[in-house]
Structure 1
Amino acid sequence: MHRSRSVRHMPAIGAVVALSAGLLTATVPAAHAASGATLPFTSVEAESATSTGTRIGPDYTQGTLASEASGRQAVRLTSGQRVEFTVPRAANAVNLAYSVPDGQSGSLDVYVNGTRLTRTLPVTSKYSYIDTGWIPGAKQHHFFDNSRLLLGQNLQAGDKVAFQSTGTQVTVDVADFEQVDAAASQPAGSVSVTSKGADPSGNGDSTQAFRDAIAAAQGGVVWIPPGDYRLTSSLSGVQNVTLQGAGSWYSVVHTSRFIDQSSSSGGVHIKDFAVIGEVTERVDSNPDNFVNGSLGPNSSVSGMWIQHMKVGLWLMGNNDNLVVENNRILDTTADGLNLNGNARGVRVRNNFLRNQGDDSLAMWSLYSADTNSSFENNTISQPNLANGIAIYGGTDIAVKNNLVSDTNALGSGIAISNQKFLDPFSPLAGTITVDGNTLVRAGAMNPNWNHPMGALRVDSYDSAINATVNITNTTITDSPYSAFEFVSGGGQGYPVRNVTVDGATVRNTGTVVVQAEAQGAATFRNVTASSVGAAGIYNCPYPASSGTFTLTDGGGNSGWNSTWSDCSTWPQPGQGNPDPDPNRNLAKGRPATATGSQDVYTPGKAVDGDANSYWESTNNAFPQSWTVDLGSSYAVRRLVLKLPPSSAWGARTQTITVLGSTDGSNYSTVVGSSGYRFDPATGNTATVSLPSSTNLRYLRLSVSANTGWPAGQFSEVEAYLTS
């Protein structure tokens, strides 16, 4: 049975409360090259491609589409719009991460070097928009999905692949380009599932054929030829056998429950095919998993494509010396993999995980300790409810050379924790090694705490941390809040002890380098920081009477020696430091909505940076309002309102009221109703000065009249900190 998602009940403290080498090369600094998996594909972000669509983001706000996107940005396409990628390497296949509005499905036309393919790429919301109302702090999430296509031709670096919307609005996030090898041949002496009656068309039920092949191949290989195979119930009693396919792009098993067994004598090897499920919601009592239970000792899982499950591998019982490597786990509604106690000598390495609805990789020491096991060289992108990697208890655990990016809501990039969830639980013990990891845009605002979780969190949630925790050679880049957090997340004030942070590079952290909220101690050596948002250290243990957290300077530290002075307030990103770009337009690319819009003249056109495109409200229906979420509260001093500069736009006056809100619910008038003249002779621009007392996150413009057209119209709305 799957546990319910961790819920942090810590009360507020006053008011405080190839991303690797070859992956996502458009956005990853060279310093990250040593971390993460070596992958067979290269990813390109849509926001770095050529597009006629609208860029959304960046955004770190829980529950928004851009906040769940890779790089916190994506490109929205309406009908007829396209995004064109330059192929970064030889490729004959592509996997696309995308989102469509809830309840919709459709397809994208695919063009290669300007020629439309006969095949289209299907897109659907079927596996997205997950609600987990029983998890406090959760909002609807899991907005993205993945769809793949063999292109039928070999492309070279520099070729162009475009995706064009054919009617359904599609938000394109990232494209993975891959050179897929030819299908493998059947191993000599293996038992083919088709010889036992399996239907490679996917029409018939192949469950019994798989069972018969497994029974016949004991000690040998079950061969899954190219094709689609439908299983209607799970397999059990799987032991002493290899299940092998022709490759994960060719041999595809369709089932939401592949193996479900509580024990096995082991020697199970699963390799080189895909298992794609039909899980459209998260039901924790259902074993809707690729593997549920145990494969037994000395088993392995490799070269698999696992998608649309609740959990990839939920492992209980004896899984000693299991190796899980070179797999892709995509679009799970809960964990990617969870070692649920009794794991000894397990190695999880060189896997790629994207779009998990809980921890992407977790060890949970329930009933007995996970021991001498490791997560190494994995690449994790976009866990949208919990942590990238979570270690809940265990003895002598290693987390090494992983790359984690874009965590959301209730999670950190890496969490080392004594949160038990259930008893009996084995707290952290021995030596916990956290080495060589890279965390990018990791950490999130926890709605249950009313303040954030850091990119790397050490958490004495339910008991004191007495293990030796060595955090070495870490790179933390663009954390929206803090880099390292030490906390007793259950609010009981348990100490965090025996922690050493040695060798870390922190760049562009939004608030602080060290967020200390528990009693205890840590030693820091050779930790360098640059572009720190507010201060080096926030040291405010909770409860306040629980004791202090001692930071020992072991030498070699630089760039973070200041301390946040007010424990009654949590620093906002950038607070206390000069803004790196005080003249930037705060509204550009931010999520925009309106009470109505006309045809293709949608709200986002007013923040897309293109003065020739525009929002137009529903006609003949004043008043109409347009709203933008700036992402954080700002002391906005000036608005610049634009209409297209073309002389075809005659002069007009719009009557506008400016309103503001800090929570998106309660709005107050900032500037009362007034007429603003737009004249193409002077650039079709109007400037609005805001009072010095203004502080808002949500900016709303209410239009009650327009002398030139019976609707509200803006081609750009710009918001600035400067007067």
Structure 2
Amino acid sequence: MHSNSLRYVRRMSAIGAAVALAAGLLVALAPAAHAAAGADLPFTSVEAESATTTGTKIGPDHTQGTIASEASGRQAVRLGAGQRVEFTVPRAANAVNVSYNVPDGQSGALNVYVNGTKLAKTLAVTSKYSYVDTSWIAGAKTHHFFDNARLLLGQNVQPGDKIAVEAVSTQVTVDVADFEQVAAAATKPAGAVSVTDKGADPSGQGDSTQAFRNAIAAAQGGVVWIPPGDYRLTSSLNGVQNVTLQGAGSWHSVVHTSRFIDQSSSSGGVHLKDFAVIGEVTERVDSNPDNFVNGSLGPGSSVSGMWLQHLKVGLWLTGNNDNLVVENNRILDTTADGLNLNGNARGVRVRNNFLRNNGDDALAMWSLYSPDTNSSFESNTISQPNLANGIAIYGGTDLAVKNNLISDTNALGSGIAISNQKFLDPFSPLAGTITVSGNTLVRAGAMNPNWQHPMGALRVDSYDSAIEANVSITGTTITDSPYSAFEFVSGGGHGYATKNVTVDGATVRNTGTVVVQAESQGAAKFSNVQATGVGAAGIYNCPYPAGSGTFTLTDGGGNAGWSSTWGDCSAWPQPGQGNPDPDPTRNLAKGRPATATGSQDVYTPGKAVDGDASTYWESTNNAFPQAWTVDLGSSQAVRRLVLKLPPATAWQARTQTLSVQGSTDGSAYSTVVASQGYRFDPATGNTATVTLPSGTNLRYLKLNVTANTGWPAAQFSEVEAYLS
């Protein structure tokens, strides 16, 4: 389901890891670095841009419609004829899967080399399944640039071995390679009915549709066996119930069809496991059931160990699918959703799956006709959804999104969206408790071309009605979001409230604009949210439409690194822009958090930024050197400091010797003004001015004091910081 065909355009101006990219190595997108987030996968991925290459690296780029913007890590390697990428094998493997792009309308091949020896087999590459256009979706451009191609190497390789891929004649952009040790083909279970015994052709030449139907009919209550081979089905299966369809493994048993099961109901007990279904879907036609499963498998069913590719949707589930389990699958290169629970989902568990290059929401619950209830998306790894969200919850009751790893969302989506966008009626809005826990989002969020402003990595959206459910967001890690980390919005432009939200325990690193992007009326409580590397300011709080109400952020304690507020609601912050100050004469330090190496009695560090020159900070006595630090909230081009002591006549003249240091992250400091003496004289107001050199940008301002001629301690009643 397309998640963000927004119906309004904002008045605002347009904005023109966590996943281990060190050495470009991702262990199943780095579960070792994020033990609680993502799937436990049977392969290890290596980014092309980190490998040795004779080609050209492209990216990073977040611009909609570019090849690099859809790549894992927003980077890839472009190869001309004869150019190659050589990967260092990270694990024992006998198979490789390569994510790649070729120019529109072209096909070709990649030569494959193992330790310098060229294999007889090549890896076919094509644009056939790429370059998808969806003109009916507002804001969509041509997208879905990448595809995946896999190859059994015919030999075992070990960690440290070299595998290279080389463009033969067609230009190929290589994104990432997955290295896997594929198990030998499984053997037929005792008592199973083989589709070949019913006439199926494992060469892929004949039509095996009727043979599959006959085997299903004969195996009721038992197992249909799909031996190693390629099988071609020309129409979908229906009436599937009380049966297991089992293959020899998803690299061995392959069914070629764009419509595998299409049925509106089933008595259940359907188990699909350990084979591949690879379709021929080259464009998205929403009225066509071009899906692995379209409709219902019935209660108590399961889908596991599947490789699903080149379909419109992996699983589009309607009707009764109570207690369905979908686990340990790969869903690649779909032109729309990876999986969508389309109403009536009760007790469904979708867990430990890998999804890459999906053309809409990778995983979605959509409560059309009746609410999805007591269902969850848990421990899935999602990479490169190229139109909408990584995970989307549209309505429903008591749902959970837990321990997922989502990276590189594009165009119209967030990493996770919790939304009351209904699309159609009758719709069941969010209710009960929506649990969002333990998720890791990397480079998630995107510029929305309909809004002409960005979407956050994690979005709560009162699109068509107020959020009445309790939305609990805990244990979140958000890294390298190109724009904001958390967004609260009423995306339909109606100004509905986004409320009953709690955010507890989050780590935000290197967010491009703000930590919190609040655009609706409502409220959220934030606790234990730690941010570093904030691009512009901590908070953007400008509800839309104007006058629709305010968004209240309650500080639950334990927050750090994002207390500043974007100062201009007439313009969106751009990544790394810094917060424009509507009053350039404002004292940037006033009221900001201050700390010190020590203080004497009641003369605490905050007294130097409280706006009252009669109160003051005094360091621990007889203990030079001493340091006093203030967090300005965001990086600022500070040009002048005014240091004050109380103006009382009892304060005799004195000279304090100090240096000025600055930092953008609170850990690495550099000297801005070298140590020198500054005279404080009651006859001239007991003030001293420090001029900072042009080009100074700092968020954390530190004064290191080494001497005071009037008292054996550092003393300031006010430290004022100005832009000019």
- TM-score range normalised by the length of the shorter chain: 0.7 to 0.9
Shift, 1:386, TM fit: 0.2
Partner of 2:301: 299
Residues 257 and 132 of structure 1: CA distance in aligned 2, closer, same or farther (over 3 Å): same
Partner of 1:124: 126
Q: Give 1:6's match in structure 2, choosing from 4, 7, 10.
A: 4
Query: What does 1:359-398 correspond to in 2, within 5 Å?
Result: 359-398=361-400
Matches of 1:127 and 1:101 in 2, distance apart? 12
TM-score (norm 2): 0.78
Q: What is the identity, as a one-letter code, of the residue corresponding to 2:359?
A: G
Q: What is the identity, as a one-letter code, of the residue corresponding to 1:572?
A: Q
Conserved 8 A contact 1:20-1:28: yes
Conserved 8 A contact 2:2-2:388: no
Residues 479 and 101 of structure 1: CA distance in aligned 2, closer, same or farther (over 3 Å): same
Q: What is the identity, as a one-letter code, of the residue corresponding to 1:252?
A: V
SS in 1 for 2:231: strand
Shift, 1:15, TM fit: 2.8
Matches of 2:263 and 2:84 in 1, distance apart? 46
Conserved 8 A contact 2:102-2:172: yes
Q: Give 1:276's match in structure 2, choosing from 265, 275, 278.
A: 278
Shift, 1:24, TM fit: 1.5
- The root-mean-square deviation of aligned C-alpha atoms, in Å, is 1.6
1:377-409 alpha-carbon deviations (Å, 9 max, x no partner): 000000000000000000000000000000000
Matches of 1:330 and 1:370 in 2, distance apart? 25
Conserved 8 A contact 1:20-1:36: no
Matches of 1:429 and 1:153 in 2, distance apart? 53
Shift, 1:6, TM fit: 3.5
Matches of 2:131 and 2:12 in 1, distance apart? 34
Conserved 8 A contact 1:20-1:379: no
Larger Rg: 2
Between 24-33 and 83-92, the greater mean CA deviation after superposition: 24-33
Conserved 8 A contact 1:20-1:38: no
Q: What is the identity, as a one-letter code, of the residue corresponding to 2:72?
A: S
Shift, 1:27, TM fit: 7.8
1:156-207 alpha-carbon deviations (Å, 9 max, x no partner): 0000000001110000000000000000000000000000000000000000
Q: Give 1:499's match in structure 2, choosing from 488, 498, 501.
A: 501
Conserved 8 A contact 2:18-2:33: no
Partner of 2:655: none
Query: What does 1:347-362 correspond to in 2, within 5 Å?
Result: 347-362=349-364
Matches of 1:334 and 1:189 in 2, distance apart? 38
Q: What is the identity, as a one-letter code, of the residue corresponding to 2:452?
A: N
Q: What is the identity, as a one-letter code, of the residue corresponding to 2:101?
A: S
Q: Give 1:473's match in structure 2, choosing from 461, 472, 475.
A: 475
Q: Give 1:551's match in structure 2, choosing from 550, 553, 559.
A: 553
Matches of 2:229 and 2:25 in 1, distance apart? 29
Matches of 2:380 and 2:18 in 1, distance apart? 11
Matches of 1:555 and 1:108 in 2, distance apart? 55
Conserved 8 A contact 1:402-1:437: yes
Residues 455 and 369 of structure 1: CA distance in aligned 2, closer, same or farther (over 3 Å): same
Gaps of 5+ in 1: 579-723
SS in 2 for 1:37: coil
Residues 242 and 40 of structure 1: CA distance in aligned 2, closer, same or farther (over 3 Å): same
Matches of 2:563 and 2:478 in 1, distance apart? 17
Partner of 1:630: none
Partner of 2:328: 326
Conserved 8 A contact 1:321-1:345: yes
Residues 539 and 20 of structure 1: CA distance in aligned 2, closer, same or farther (over 3 Å): closer
Partner of 2:156: 154
Partner of 2:62: 60
Partner of 1:715: none
The answer to whether structure 1 residue 234 and structure 2 residue 232 are counterparts is no
SS in 2 for 1:195: coil
Q: What is the identity, as a one-letter code, of the residue corresponding to 1:142?
A: H
Q: Give 1:488's match in structure 2, choosing from 483, 487, 490.
A: 490
Query: What does 1:196-275 correspond to in 2, within 5 Å?
Result: 196-275=198-277
Q: What is the identity, as a one-letter code, of the residue corresponding to 1:411?
A: G
Matches of 1:336 and 1:19 in 2, distance apart? 24
Matches of 1:549 and 1:132 in 2, distance apart? 35
Conserved 8 A contact 1:19-1:379: no
Residues 31 and 539 of structure 1: CA distance in aligned 2, closer, same or farther (over 3 Å): farther
TM-score (norm 1): 0.78
Matches of 2:343 and 2:32 in 1, distance apart? 37
Shift, 1:577, TM fit: 7.0
Partner of 1:674: none
Residues 55 and 537 of structure 1: CA distance in aligned 2, closer, same or farther (over 3 Å): same
Shift, 1:13, TM fit: 3.5
Q: What is the identity, as a one-letter code, of the residue corresponding to 1:125?
A: S
Conserved 8 A contact 2:483-2:512: yes
Conserved 8 A contact 1:25-1:43: yes
Residues 12 and 20 of structure 1: CA distance in aligned 2, closer, same or farther (over 3 Å): closer
Partner of 1:86: 88
Q: Give 2:13's match in structure 1, choosing from 12, 15, 18.
A: 15
Matches of 2:402 and 2:355 in 1, distance apart? 16
Shift, 1:8, TM fit: 1.2
Conserved 8 A contact 2:404-2:438: yes
Matches of 1:480 and 1:505 in 2, distance apart? 15
1:622-644 alpha-carbon deviations (Å, 9 max, x no partner): xxxxxxxxxxxxxxxxxxxxxxx
Q: Give 2:413's match in structure 1, choosing from 411, 414, 420.
A: 411
Q: Give 1:452's match in structure 2, choosing from 440, 449, 454.
A: 454
The answer to whether structure 1 residue 442 and structure 2 residue 440 are counterparts is no
Residues 23 and 461 of structure 1: CA distance in aligned 2, closer, same or farther (over 3 Å): farther
Shift, 1:34, TM fit: 2.0
Shift, 1:4, TM fit: 5.3
Matches of 1:518 and 1:11 in 2, distance apart? 15
Query: What does 1:138-177 correspond to in 2, within 5 Å?
Result: 138-177=140-179
Shift, 1:11, TM fit: 2.6
Matches of 2:374 and 2:29 in 1, distance apart? 34
Conserved 8 A contact 2:29-2:45: no
SS in 2 for 1:498: strand
Matches of 1:318 and 1:344 in 2, distance apart? 8
Matches of 1:27 and 1:96 in 2, distance apart? 15
SS in 1 for 2:361: coil
SS in 2 for 1:252: strand
Matches of 1:324 and 1:492 in 2, distance apart? 36
Gaps of 5+ in 2: 581-724
Shift, 1:25, TM fit: 4.1
Q: What is the identity, as a one-letter code, of the residue corresponding to 1:305?
A: W
Matches of 1:332 and 1:262 in 2, distance apart? 22
Query: What does 1:570-609 correspond to in 2, within 5 Å?
Result: 570-576=572-578
Between 76-85 and 569-578, the greater mean CA deviation after superposition: 569-578
Q: What is the identity, as a one-letter code, of the residue corresponding to 1:360?
A: A
Residues 577 and 82 of structure 1: CA distance in aligned 2, closer, same or farther (over 3 Å): farther
SS in 1 for 2:175: strand
Matches of 2:4 and 2:566 in 1, distance apart? 29
Matches of 2:108 and 2:348 in 1, distance apart? 41
Residues 224 and 27 of structure 1: CA distance in aligned 2, closer, same or farther (over 3 Å): closer
Q: What is the identity, as a one-letter code, of the residue corresponding to 1:563?
A: T
Partner of 1:535: 537
Conserved 8 A contact 2:48-2:87: yes
Number of aligned positions between the proteins? 576
SS in 2 for 1:544: coil
Between 24-33 and 227-236, the greater mean CA deviation after superposition: 24-33
Q: What is the identity, as a one-letter code, of the residue corresponding to 2:453?
A: H
Partner of 1:110: 112
1:27-46 alpha-carbon deviations (Å, 9 max, x no partner): 85965332000000000000
Residues 385 and 4 of structure 1: CA distance in aligned 2, closer, same or farther (over 3 Å): closer
SS in 2 for 1:493: coil
